[in-house]
Each structure stands twice: as structure tokens, then as C-alpha cells.
Amino acid sequence: MRAYAANVYTSVVEELTRGQQRRFIAVEQEFFRLWWDGVASDQQKHQVRQLLDEGRLEFVLGGQVMHDEAVTHIDDQILQLTEGHGFLYETFGVRPQFSWHVDPFGASATTPTLFALAGFNAHLTSRIDYDLKAAMQGAQGLQFVWRGSPSLSAQQEIFTHVMDQYSYCTPSHIPFSNRSGFYWNGVAVFPEPPPDGVYPNMSEPVTPANIDLYAEALVANVKQRAAWFRTAHVLWPWGCDKQFFNASVQFANMDPLLDRINRRAAELGVSVQYATLGDYFRALHALNVTWHTRDHRDFLPYSSEPFQAWTGFYTSRSALKGLARRASALLYAGESMFTRYTWPVPRGSLDPTWALWQLQQLRWAVSEVQHHDAITGTESPKVRDMYEEHLASGMLGVRKLMASIILDGRRPGPGAGARQTAPGTSSGYFASVYNPLAWTVTTIVTLTVGFPNVSVTDESGHPVPSQIQNSTQTPSAYELHILTTIPGLSYRHYSIKPTAGAAWEPAATMAARVLRFGRRPKTRTSHGGRRLMPVANDCYTVLLDEDTNLMHSVWERQGNRSVHVTQEFLEYHVNGDVKQGPVSDNYMFTPSAAAVPTWEAVGMEVVAGRLVTEIRQFFYRNMTAQDHAFAIYSRLAHVPQGHDGQLLCQRIEQEYRVGPLELNREAVLRTSTGLDSQQVIYSDNNGYQMQRRPHLAYANNSIARNYYPMVQSAFIEDGGSSLVLLSERAHGVSSQGNGQVEIMLHRRLWNNVDWDLGYNLTLNDTSVVHPVLWLLLGPRPVMAALRQRSGLALQHRPVVLFGELTRSALKPPGPRQPEAVTLPPNLHLQVLSIPGWNYSSSHTEHVQNLQKGQRGQAQADLRRVLLRLHHLYEVGEDPVLSQPVTVDLEVSLRGLGSVEAIEERSLTGTWDVSALQRWSWRTDAGYHRGDSPPPSRLPGGPTITIYPKEIRTFFIHFRQP
């Protein structure tokens, strides 16, 4: 910020005011907002507004960051775009109309849908596979209309421009200079500028002696690129990473060079002008060319060269990936809880300004970590620490907010944060459990307590099914499992008290019993499957091989089919010496050979209880190792009669312990099955849609180039059954053999590449990670119906607020909970929040207020509720759940109060959809796309119809009581 970003905005704004011909585009709002709020003078702010009005400064993309496309969840992509767009619209009344996504490491098919819904007219990307890009260049196919989803109408297509082989930077090589090319301001120096003002790698200045050499080099490059595109307009990006921090030098050299080319235009055959991205796309659109279309395929994985497959970052810094998703889930729960608390009327003394600030801090922390050098794990340890600090601080604030809301109904005044783990020396505990999903959820929540004998009762004093067992994490503590059924956006409250342990006590918790099996060596073979031990619930029977302590097979009830399933840990041994060949790093995965098993022996325990049976498998590097290197904890739930536990029963929950790894190892969990999958795996784009991934043969680096991102789900299938894996964080996933699913869980690397050493990007990650996967096995139609809802049940597990009981907490609950919010099973409540924006919903009124120097109301608008609904299913995925669904918003939201007005908005809320007219682009299908509203846009009224894969956004205004 000090050395680079602040100086970009300060010097660029100054230079733009000095030349009417000059232009500049700005992309990410996190840095701009920091400059605007903490650095910019009143004069600079006035200049920015004037430049925006004149179109000479243009915000493109406009999110808080340029998010990664491979390992981010669509909900978080939308959040960070919404935060950036809300700031820009509230501050300037501008709405970005073009997306600039040049640096993410591969392109997701979610992107065209996302950016079309945000109101963008065209999209620009850059990093796609090197050989595909070469083929597209040769066929003049780098520009096309991209349809992101197979289920959506033409409304969700977007014109897409892929940058050519030079990517987004000015070509650095010029034949007459050994400097960096066209970068006259050099490279930024951190943390302070050089005392003499001379920056490294400054290009040779433009002088009368060399200006023609510069001009001819630039023109030659423009003509080379022109052959790769279909029109006479060539986009030539000027700049690169950390450029324009000394814009006076840059523009002073660019101005005469452009002028010289234009004076020689007739001779050179090229004319040039400064342009924003909007200027370029407007010129292109005006030509009314007919473009090819591209279907819903993504551009993943990304390889920049034969041995540079950028598939390692799918797993790098697994702990950060897990923390980012937990923070997102907590934010999601906190948003709806605060909205429910505020409407129809605040029921206590909570300060809404304080509450909004807690939510805002976590919104920003979750938004910034979506950056393509954040959640990807491609940052230095110091920067990772910053992300983790921001996330942890934001999560603490939102937990305090949620605890205050809970306690506000039980005692006067805002409360303090609740503890998740209590020491166990008091007279008992109080726990509140909040369900953030808009469906009734039956699940098992797990608490850590300090005593072995407890009773659990609900709000009415009735006993609750529960189970207690020794903790896997803390030897002196106990894990308490509680069965809970919670309506949508509602709470359950539980009292947990120590007891004498007598079984006759009415609410006594049953203790699990432990069966221990000796350590088994890998060399031991099973005797024809004769020693198989079953672990069963109402949906599955898992057979464990007592000769190996490995899983042997799974019988699933619905399909009445037994499938061979076994799991083990393996590691890829990778090279760390560039003199010996390609290396793996934060970004790239470059294995030299197939993965090898990491273990020589496996120990096992089976913890059997009335609610949960847990299989604990411990993998040792050798028979004499004292500590295990890896572990799998598998749970099967036993749902008592009278509870709707379909989702709970039909999953095998697994948590892993992985690490610390040895150096230059990449650890994977390989699940081998009897399914004839033909080595085809399906993995998701951003938790939104699935991509079919056949195993492809490559001459080089074939293992790594067959790895794909798994953000939330992956599956393999044959003619009858599917094995689905669901995840609470991003991983790399592959099928390296028929019937196999291989998930990379952790990486620890070091290499001697100068770049990696200089930026501390060797990924010497010594952490222990605890990722979670849920396994679902069954008939293909059943799995297709369960996958989406189960994935959300994993992502948005109930939030447990757990603290010691006090006299006030022992009192009966406060006012009766409002009515639950319940949506049909194929609709997801993607967000329910009070953003706090203070701009008018009327664009005309908002612009007039800005012109008057007003920024809307002085206080945040608590009356405006942001609602976003997402249809979970693709067309044809399920005969019932894939149908359009009609809901009456007044009925669905009556638990929050009486709806006064409903406005349908663009994805990020800044456009009224009735005023949003995206550009039409003529395609080879013979008609324009992007200009006709889909049939679901019904005029007026609270009843709406949502079609498969649609995401629709609304402002809801409630009637004041």
C-alpha cells in the first residue's frame, strides 16, 4: 500500500488531469478504498469524480479484489463483488460494466453467469492453457460469446475476450535495449522508494534518437497481434504488475511515442489512442460482427508450459482455505440472525451500528481472501498471517454479535461472546444452536465438555438424545454429540449438566463403548475377506477388514448394492532442485512419478454409540513409530425413530488428520472403488455447476494436468451407482485410475528457484490440517437429488454458541421465536442480510443526491433487506427438483414481518433489473443474445418463479410495526 498502490492512485489522478487524451482503468476496490478513505485529499477526491464523469478514469470489474476462479465458492465471489460494487455506487453512483480478470490461474464456467448477472456487457480474461490459446490464436477464436450454464437462457451469456500469448503485460522485450521494455517507471521498491528516485529496471527514456525505434517496435507487436483477431481494433495493454506508481514518468514517455506513431500512421499502417476497456468494447460492439459461441466448458486446469501445470494451488495452504470457508459460513449465519433480530422489530437493546460494524469487518475479511493470491495459497507466510488475522478478528466479532442476540432475549443488555470449549468445573453449560439454512435440518452437533457424565435437556426441560465419548483432540476432555432438529433460520437451546452417571437419570447421556484393534502391517494380506467386521446404520453397512484395518466395502440400502471401497494415504515425492528438472511450488504441481503409500501399518478403534458410531484409523509410517502420521475418523449416524434424518443417515462423515509432512511431499487420500467409472470424474465449478473431466493423455506432466479444482463436490459413477464426495474447503481432485478418486489434502515444499526464494513462496508448510469430507454412495438419481442439499448442509452446519450456565441463562427463553423461514427443497437462501447501504434505490435520486454533495441518509438503512435466492438444480438433473419453483415472498418471509415492497435487483444490488439493458452480441446461431429477459421476470407482485440454476436478487422492504 505504501510503496505501490497509494502512489498509483495519487500519481495517476494527477497525471490524468494534465492531459485530456489520457485514460486509466482501476480494478480492485480494496486498495482504492484504502487510498480514498485514508490518503486522498479533498482536491484529489474532486478530481476523481470529475475524471469518472468524463470517462477518462474507469472502474472495471469493481469487486473488492480480482478473485480466483478455481478454488473460490460462488457465494464468496458474489459477496466480494457486492462489497466493491456497493462502495462504488454509494460513493460515485457508477456501476462497472466490464470485467477485467487477467490474472486468475484458469477460468471457470461460473464466470460468464456471475458477470452477466452483475450487469457486465463484456468480459476479458487471459490465463488459459498454453496449447489451447495457441490453437485459438491461429483460428482467430480468442473472442466469442460464452454461455456459462447449460440451464440458463441467453441472458446469462457474455461476450468474452481472451488475451493473446503476451497476456496482460506490455511486451517486455525490445531489440535495442536490455531494459524491461515499455516500463519507464521501473519496478516498485518495498517498503519505501529509493532515496535517489531511480527505480530498478527503468526503461531507456524516449528521446529524439530512439523514438522511431520505440514506435516501430510497438507497431510491429500490434501487427503481430492483429493477425490473431478478427477486427481492425487491437487491444494493447500498457502496464503490468506494480506499474504506474510513478505515473508522471510513464505518461511523459508514452505521450510523445503515441503522437509519433499517429504522425506516421499512413506509413506505418497503424493509429493508436489511449483507451479504457469500455472504449475498446464499445468500438468492437459497434461493428456488429457475428461471433462464435462457446458452451458451458471451463478453462481448467491452466498450464503455462508443458511442465508448468498450475494445479498445486488447488490445495496450497489448506489451513487458510479451511479458515476462509468457515469464516464465510459464520458470516452467512450472522447476517440472517441479525436480520431476524431486527425484523419485525428489534427485541432488545443491541446497538445496530455496532452490529453492522461486526458484520462489515467479516465481509471485508472474507472478500479480500478471495483474491487470486490469497485463498489460492500463493502468498508469502507474512501475508498469509495477515489474512488469517483479519478472518479470525472478524469471526470473533460476529460470534460476539450472535451471542449477544441469543442472550438479549434471555437477559437485558448485549452479552459477551460465548466460549466454544469450557473447562468443565462449573455446574453446567448453556448451548444455543442456530440453523442458518432455510430448511428444517436434523443433524448431530458436537461439543467439547470437561466431564464424562452429563444430562442434556431442551428449552422445555425434556431429555434430548445424546452420546458422550473421549475426545480425539484433547485427551482430558470429552466429545458430546447431541441430536437436534431445527427449523429454518431458527434456534434450539440446550442445558448440559454434570451428573453422577446413573443410567436411570432421565436425561442421562449414554457413553459410547470402544473396540480396539491392534496395529496391522501393510504386508499382511486379507484371508479371502473372511474377517470382515460390519459397522452399520439404516442406510449403509461399512465392512472393515480386520486383517488390514482398512475399509473393504460399503453396502448401500437404497440400491441394494455392495461396492468395493478402500481408502489409503499416499504421497507424491517432488523435486526441489531446478538443476534436476521441473519443481513443484505454491502454484504448480510437478510430480516426477506416481504417488507411493505413506504408511507401513494401520491401527483402528471403533467407538460404538446409540447416536454415532465412529471408525478411527491411524496410519503409521512404520511398525515401530510412536505417533501416527495420518488418521481417518469416519462417522455413521443412527437416527432415532420419529426424526426425519434422510440427509443425516445417507452420508459417511470423515475427518482427516494430515501433517506435518516431510519436505517436498504432497499428500493425497485415494479412494478406490469397484465402480466402472472409465476414469471419468466430475468436479464442480465454484459449488455452482459440475464439469465432466475425462482422463486425458498428455506427453508431459500427465498426472498434474489431470488434476482439477474441487470446491464443494466431486463424484464418479457407473451405470448404476454414484460415489459423491463433498468438501468444506477446496482441494485438488483427480481420477488416476478406473474407479478411483484422489484428493490432495496437504503440501509441503521447498525449492531453489530464485523467484520463489525471493518472495518466500517455497511453501514450507509444517502445519497439521483437519479437512472434512462427506461420502455419499447410492443410485445415480438418488445421489443427484442429495448432492446439492448435502453440500450445503456441510458448508452451513448449525452454529453452536456454547458457554457456562448462569442464573440468567437458566431462565426460560425470552419472547417466542418468530415463525421459521422455509423454502422449497430446490431453493437455497443464498443471502438474507441488512447491507446497511445508504443510497436510494432510485438511480436518478441517488445521482442527484451525489451531485448535491449528499450521500443519502446519515444512518445506515436498516429497512432494506437484501435477499438472494438460488435454484440448486440443472435442467434434467432430477424429475421433480429440476422443475421451476414458484414462491410467494410475502408468505415465505412472514416470519420477519409484513412485506411492504419488493424490488428485483442485479446480482450485486446496484441495478434495478427493469433498467438493466445489457448489450446484444450477434452470434452464429443467427440472433442476438443478452437482450431478452427470461420468462421468469413476472411484473409486480410477491409471487415469483425461479428456473433451474437461476440466481435472483431482491431488496425487501418491510412495513414498520
578: which DSSP letter? G
Query: In Å, how far are 206, 412, 432, 895 from 405, measured between CA atoms?
Result: 64, 11, 11, 17
Q: Rounded to the nearest 10 degrees, what angle do helices 74-92 and 110-117 cross at?
A: 30
How far apart are alpha carbons 670 and 599 in whole angstroms? Answer: 13
3-state SS class at 51 = helix
Decide if 391 contacts 366 (C-beta within 8 A). Answer: yes
CATH ID of 513-796, from 2.70.98.30, 3.40.50.800, 2.10.10.90, 3.90.550.10: 2.70.98.30
Cα 138 to chain centroid distance, Å, stands at 34
Amino acid identity of 811?
A: K
Helix (H) or strand (E) holding 74: helix 74-92
Q: How many CA atoms lie within 13 A of 821 on its CB side?
A: 27
Residue 324 CB contacts under 8 Å (≥ 6 apart), including other chains: 76, 366, 369, 370, 374, 375, 387, 391, 729
DSSP assignments along 753-806, one per residue: -HHHHHTT-S------B--EEEEEEEEHHHHHHHHHHHHHHHHTPPEEEEEE--
Half-sphere exposure of 106 (CA within 13 A, CB side): 31
Q: What is the pLDDT of residue 931?
A: 43
Q: Which of 103, 255, 538, 676 is catalytic?
A: 103
Using DSSP's 3-state secondary structure scheme, residue 664 falls into coil
Largest CA distance in the chain: 99
Residue 526 grid cell: 486379507
pLDDT number for residue 939? 55
Q: Which residues, listed in sequence order, are joined to residue 456 by a DSSP beta bridge?
A: 496
pTM over 0.75: yes
Residue type, position 111, single letter: T
- Cβ atoms of 180 and 144 within 8 Å: the answer is no
H or E element in which residue 554 lies: strand 550-556
Grid cell digits, residue 263: 504522425
Of residues 90, 25, 88, the one with CA closest to residue 58: 25
DSSP codes of every residue in 911-940: SBGGG--PPPEEBTTSSEES-S--TT---S
- CA distances to 243, 716, 717 from 563, rounded to whole Å, are 57, 13, 12
Which cell numbers in the block locate residue 310? 498450475
Which one-letter DSSP state was computed for residue 580? G
Instruction: Write the DSSP symbol of residue 959.
Output: P
DSSP state letter for 436:
-
At 29, is the secondary structure helix, strand, or coil? helix
Q: Quick one: CA dihedral 429, 434, 439, 444, positive or negative?
A: negative
With 0-12 CB in 10 A as exposed, 13-18 as middle and 19+ as buried, what is 538?
middle
Burial classification of residue 554, based on how many CB atoms lie within 10 Å of its CB (0-12 exposed, 13-18 middle, 19 or more buried):
buried
Specify whether the CB–CB gap between 144 and 294 falls below 8 A: yes
| 331, 406, 466, 494, 702 from 491: Cα distances, Å | 17, 9, 18, 10, 50
Pairing of strands 740-748, 303-305: unpaired
Candidates 390, 389, 413, 393; CA nearest to 403 is 413
Given this model, what pLDDT does residue 401 score?
Answer: 96
Which residues, in sequence order, are CB contacts of 66 under 8 Å at separation 6+?
27, 28, 100, 101, 102, 103, 104, 371, 372
CA neighbor of 927 nearest in space, from 153, 333, 129, 117: 153
Going along 687-769, which residue ranges are E strands?
Answer: 689-694, 708-710, 713-717, 721-727, 731-734, 740-748
Averaged pLDDT in 10-residue chunks for the chain of 961 residues? 90 97 96 96 97 98 98 98 97 97 97 96 97 96 94 88 94 74 86 84 92 94 96 95 92 97 98 98 96 94 94 98 98 96 78 95 98 97 97 97 85 40 58 96 93 90 92 86 95 90 66 91 66 95 96 96 97 95 95 95 95 96 93 95 85 97 97 97 97 94 97 96 98 97 98 92 95 98 96 97 61 62 95 93 92 69 92 96 95 89 95 93 69 46 93 92 72
Taking the C-alpha atoms of residue 310 and residue 299, their distance in angstroms, rounded to an integer, is: 12
Q: Give dist(CA 856, CA 853) in Å, integer.
A: 9
Residues sharing a CB contact under 8 Å with residue 341, sequence separation 6 or more, in sequence order = 347, 348, 350, 405, 408
Strands 157-162 and 122-125, sheet pairing: parallel
Contact 868, 950 (CB under 8 A): no
d(CA 778, CA 780): 6
Cα–Cα distance measured from residue 889 to residue 126, given in angstroms and rounded to the nearest whole number: 41
Sign of CA dihedral 763, 365, 395, 821: negative
Q: Please give the single-letter amino acid code of residue 943.
A: T
Preceding amide of 301 cis, omega within 30: yes
- What are the residues whose beta carbons fall under 8 Å from the beta carbon of 157, sequence distance 6 or more? 112, 116, 145, 146, 147, 148, 293, 921, 929, 930
CA–CA distance, 664 with 762 (Å, rounded to integer): 10
- Catalytic-residue membership of 103: yes
3-class DSSP state of 375: coil
* DSSP E strand stretches across 588-664: 596-597, 601-608, 612-620, 630-637, 652-658
CATH of domain 428-504: 2.60.40.1180
Cis amide prior to 835 (ω within 30 degrees): no
**Contact criterion met (CB below 8 Å) for 377 and 310:** no
Contact call for residues 306 and 700 (beta carbons, < 8 A):
yes
Locate CATH 2.70.98.30 in the chain. Answer: 513-796
DSSP 299: B
946 pairs with which residues across the strands?
Answer: 885
Task: Judge residue 928's burial from the number of C-beta atoms within 10 Å of its C-beta, 0-12 exposed, 13-18 middle, 19 or more buried.
Answer: middle
In the chain the first and final C-alpha atoms are separated, in Å, by 47
Report whether 566 contacts 572 (CB < 8 A). no
